[in-house]
Chain A
């Protein structure tokens, strides 16, 4: 508990929390400005100021209230299923974002800026999808095999980046960005060939995944939440163990903090690059399985959605700490789920949520800004003479 508090009050975690808070405040201002009600009432604010403040309160409170009802608990719903549906939606969105976020966190901690979440999710989804659609086996073999295929798919695609960096010195940022295009275009191509396209379909859609390869929908079919949630928690624990308890993770971190010292200590840098990117990609691949074998149940072009990029923010917001990534992933899942209700009920453009997400990135990227706003003192640092 003491350690949890320390993590939480330590400069870094605090900056993350404050960044989120600041973003919501700025988001609120934007919601108010974009509200037509507020715009009209301000024209006669001198005559009837109460109207203006009412409109202000309604727009901001209404929007965030709608977000709450869309993301956590809908207290206005008429039956139990509708009431708890929002939180399950949040978890359904949070699952792939967190998994991919963990993958990127592993890379970030090892000093590699992996931007290839999208591509690695797609490769995981393609491998898992192919096994899930075309292989016919009993459930207890088929499902693990399909998940494993997804992990391997993402892992290989990631490891290839590590190999290119080790062998040629290629910059991983550029390579992963380009690999995202390769993955997207390859998926788009395969969805138009018999390899993945549903027979008789003219749309770029695959046949559905067989039931024997699907995640367990433990709350029934009316919810989109599934066994991927358990896989996500296992992935958090795995990543924590990898980074904090394993010797392999120790070498990853050594490479991340000081590649020179790692080299002098006899750590094989090239091999470590391959392993880091392999594991990083494997976790994103797992995110792909959660989509194709769970939420979506078949392969489309939109299988990776924006999860690959959300995962970057989530990894940064979570300070590349597995538990932090989990919290950030849940927050982003909630933002996504809540945004839909916010738009439907309050007519607040869904883009406001995108703005809030972007502001979070901005505030995290500029810790001094957040410190200045909230007057947080920088953690004591001895300055050398």
Chain B
């Protein structure tokens, strides 16, 4: 650090020379106190403008009858919230979101763990497996939906051609209420499992070899090592992956919005799609905001519950 003559100094030095005579800790304290806020300033500005302000604005809107069609906005108190609690569409779409979350979280965690264990077991061709499992995660949602729309295409798509070859009746993968949500869940698992897979793979690589060697010396076989070393070492990762996945699945929207718009017969409409419909199609921004905030509250409650459930060890 002998060369201190860069533009860094030009912007930072406020005329106070590095106070040598002062005892070290005090000097450091004082300097950070005077400049620390400059470091956070750009982020704080953007954060305020594009995060805090919209949140506050949206919260305010939820207490009004703001609409895309009406001019003039009135304060309506808790009317929107009261309406939301009595709105059967809120409950049914919330039910769809929860259903989607239930059927995707388990496979997204278990399959990711299985893939990571398999890839980590040292068999040849690592990069092929990693690529195969992770590649879908790199696709934008519209690419995923284009591909799967084609796979699910009723007459010519791969899925029904396969059923046909097996001598079975074709299925309306996205058009039949019984199957649509499952079809979307399958697509979602295929698309996003790669991220969890990577988290597990990284965690596996950070387990020290000595643990396995010690276990092997103690005479632990492969299964024993898996259950007594590997899985316990992964418990923090599993808690993290599970938590992130629950939150991600609750926020499902894009792929459904593109593929089915919530249909058929609203059977795949998640709560976020309903909010979008109310706000952008029904023009009721105030009401849409109120539902968003109720949903946000639910997410916070779930997060807190999860944090309690998996006590966090500071690492």
The finding on whether chains A and B are genuine partners in a shared complex, rather than unrelated, reads: no
> Chain B: residues with CB nearer than 8 A to chain A?
none
